[in-house]
Structure 1
Amino acid sequence: MSEVRIAAEPRTEFGKGAARRARRAGKVPAVLYGHGTEPRHITLPGHDLMLALKTPNVLLRVDGVEGAENLVLPKSVQRDPIKGFLEHVDLLVVKKGEKVNVEIAVNLTGDAAPGGIVSQELVTIEVAAEATAIPEGVEHSVEGLEVGTSVTAGEIKLPAGTELVTDPEAIVLSVSAPAAEGEGEEEAAEGEAAEAPAE
């Protein structure tokens, strides 16, 4: 579990103009909320925040908010759709020992049995984990799985102290035989015909 210390400054100006000025100064507007407290508006250093957010479910230790140190999880990150820079971040205050629901990645390893194609239906699953011990992801081996095999969320081995929130019956991956040549082309042709606008 990664924990990153980051310095915040209180935000006193609001609105689009103020947000633009903050971003020009290399800062990102953010809101801290949770634990029955009033939302607190802050700015964070853009470069440090961008680096921290490269880690999934990173735990941030935010200094400088009303003299307190806050443990927070990024809950909503807004980026510019074209340039990709951070526009705004919502941060959820958490406490040590508290369980939080988060999405973690399911990373597949190994190769299915010859002739099998693995289709990953869910790339993430939702789990409940202690706020200071959130796993970055889980690995599941598909080594030697035969055609026709499917794996549900309930079959994914989770780290100790982590509980599954996703429906345990939800299919995470399945192994199928390759489509026979020509099948895909026929389906594509049918799809195109269906998409053709009616005169």
Structure 2
Amino acid sequence: MKLKAFIASISAAVLTACGSVDVEHYSREKPELELSTFFNGTIDAWGIFQKRSGAVARRFHVTIEASWKSPDEGVLDERFIYSDGETQRRVWHLKRQSDGTWQGTADDVVGVAVGKVSGNALRWTYVLRLPVDGKEYLVDFDDWMWQLDEHSMMNRSVMSKFGVDLGEVTLFFKKRIPGGQ
């Protein structure tokens, strides 16, 4: 029985890898995403976590304070408030590499997140330390963002472990307009 489960999980991983879209698919999409422009100042995001079944398990709001030393090096300070009152903070340190890709680090990210921008899209891949019921799990994230306009972005992340999908995180980002609504 364990052999069948192992083969099924390997098959799922192979099928997921074969079905993956390359970020270059979005190369002609507008507006062109420039991380230091979109993620600058205060950004609000609203999101949900859905279990594999599709059931919404958590809702949350994130306030992001974004600042940049240069167009190639910035910090995203994320403060989460979940619908059950739990709070969380993640501080991303982002740096553009000479080949145009991005690297990101945060305290709960294992190693380095790797990101690539093309057109209006960004794809991050990384491993996150995820606390659940007093335990910590290492979970793979396939994290996609699409800029919709100057002030809006959608984000969809698939969480998996050993190639098996655990659930999805969906967020909508809205930049605060100084002096505006």
TM range, normalised to the smaller chain?
under 0.3
Q: Say which one has the larger Rg.
A: 1
What TM-score results when the alignment is normalised by the length of structure 2? 0.26
Higher strand share: 2
Higher RCO, 1 vs 2 (CA within 8 Å, ≥6 residues apart) = 2
TM-score scaled by structure 1? 0.25
